[in-house]
Structure 1
Amino acid sequence: MTRLETKRLLLRPLQREDAEIVEEYASDYEIAKTTLNIPHPYPKGSALDYIDSVLAAAKNGRQHVFAITEKNSGSLLGTIALGIAEEHSRGELAYWVGKPHWGKGYGTEAARRLMQYGFETLQLRKIFAASFTDNPGSWRIMEKIGLKYEGTLKQHVSRLGNHHDLAYYGLLKEDYKG
């Protein structure tokens, strides 16, 4: 199982033991409203199902999902993933950080390390990510790690009763500076 390190973080595979804290963070409306796939209200006990599905998907190599943990304490801060489209040699970056840990640079640090893994280890040709345009915390991470704005798809998704624009960012391996 792959483990990735940064100065402050350890990105490790999700474990069933993470379910309680994943459920606590994912149950927060402030987290759910910034993502496309976290349900709200978050169904009790569904974090275990989510973790089991992640572990199953990891076996085919098309999904690399990590727990973002603080290296010193081992505390789970959020999750980060790189979904792989092998036929296109690209990966889609997705992440969320628990609200108590917002504004501390953890998302940027984790995303930068996963991008490095995608280009240098997985040999991807492109890494991209999308964010609701009204979620500056997310698209600022994309900009900080070097992804370039590629465009906005207007009212592209419906979430919690509202239509949202999605801003897309991407980077080609040839433009990656490491």
Structure 2
Amino acid sequence: MRAIKTDRLIIRPLQPSDHDDLQTIILDAEVVKYMRYHDITTPAAFNNVFENHFLMEQQYTFGIESKETHKLIGFYEFHPENTTGILTYALNRNAWGHGYVAEAGQAMMNYGFEKLNFDKIEAHYADLNPRSGRVMAKMGMKNLGEQETFTFPTGEVVHVMAYELTKNEWSLTTDHHEQAV
């Protein structure tokens, strides 16, 4: 994949030089609290997922770089399940609240449907993090409601909510002149 450029971001394959910035994001318990990476808590565990997932799955994992600073501020990734791409994303806390996820998300929807040929893209979030749900809605995704409930060892109950967008819905509502992929 070549880099995808948006107004403020460069979305590109992750590189070995992204190690430290991505480690800062993944090892921040507040950032990954409700994500699949919440159990990555040591540098050794991060090194394993960095080498064996983020660098190896270049078709599905992407760094989000600020055009202004040329610093990695987050990541986007797809977890393919048949013809569906399950979308995961995270940003460094310093990048929260600036609209970066929705901005990158539009480009990632284009990539997922056009280059990866997904029929559907889904994203899940914990109800305790409603900002993620609002971002998914901004990206044109439709609310599917609650998918499951689980309890953390701390006793905290989490309701997993989901959004989706089909390729057909996307093609009817999106102007595809965005960025080259």
Q: TM class, shorter-chain normalised? A: 0.7 to 0.9
> TM-score by structure 1 length?
0.86
Query: Which sections of structure 1, spanning at least 5 residues, go unmatched?
Result: none
**Structure 2: distance between partners of 1:160 and 1:44:** 22
Paired residue secondary structure (2:30):
helix
For the aligned residue pairs, the C-alpha RMSD in angstroms reads 1.8
- Within 5 Å, which residues of 2 pair with 1:139-158? 139-155=133-149, 157-158=150-151
Residues 16 and 4 from structure 1, CA distance in 2 versus in 1: closer, same or farther, beyond 3 angstroms?
same
Correspondence 1:66-77 to 2 at 5 A: 66-77=62-73
1:115 is aligned with what amino acid? M
Tell me, in whole angstroms, the C-alpha distance in 2 between the residues paired with 1:122 and 1:153: 25
The aligned counterpart of 1:25 is 25
In the alignment, what sits opposite 2:75? 79
Q: Deviations over 1:43-80 (max 9, x none)?
A: 0244332221122234xx5xx11011012321111111
Report how far residue 136 of structure 1 moved: 1.3
Partner amino acid, structure 1, of 2:97? G
1:90 corresponds to: 84
Deviation at 1:159, TM superposition (A): 4.0
Q: Distance in 2 between matches of 1:160 and 1:106?
A: 32
1:167-178 aligned within 5 A: 167-176=161-170, 177-178=173-174
**Secondary structure, counterpart of 1:30 in structure 2:** coil
Which AA in structure 2 matches 1:18? D
TM-score for the superposition, normalised by structure 2: 0.85
Per the TM alignment, residue 14 of structure 1 is displaced from its structure 2 partner at its CA by: 1.2
Identity %: 28
Give the number of equivalent residue pairs: 170
One-letter code aligned to 2:105:
A
Segments ≥4 residues shifted beyond 6 Å: none
**Mapped contact 1:118–1:127 kept (Cα < 8 A):** yes
Q: Which amino acid aligns with 1:90?
A: T
Compute the displacement of 1:158 (Å). 4.2
Write the distance in 2 (CA, Å) between the matches of 1:47 and 1:76. Answer: 16
Aligned equivalents of 1:66 and 1:32: distance in 2?
A: 17
> Relative to structure 2, which stretch is displaced further, 117-126 or 157-166?
157-166
Local SS of the residue matching 2:43: coil
Deviation, structure 1 residue 33: 1.3
